[in-house]
Structure 1
Amino acid sequence: MAGVLKKTTGLAGLAMCDTPHERPDVKKLEDQLQGGQIEVILQAEKELSLARKLLQWKPWEPLVEKPPAKQWKWPI
Structure 2
Amino acid sequence: DKYIWQFVNGRQINDHIRIPEEIHAQTPLSVKISADLKQRGFKFVGPVIIYSFMQAIGLINDHEIECIYNPG
Q: TM-score, normalised by structure 2?
A: 0.28
Query: Could you say which structure has the greater relative contact order, defined with CA pairs below 8 angstroms and 6 or more residues apart?
Result: 2
Kindly name which structure, 1 or 2, has the bigger radius of gyration based on alpha carbons: 1
Q: Which structure carries more strand by proportion?
A: 2
Give the TM-score normalised by structure 1. Answer: 0.27
Higher helix share: 2
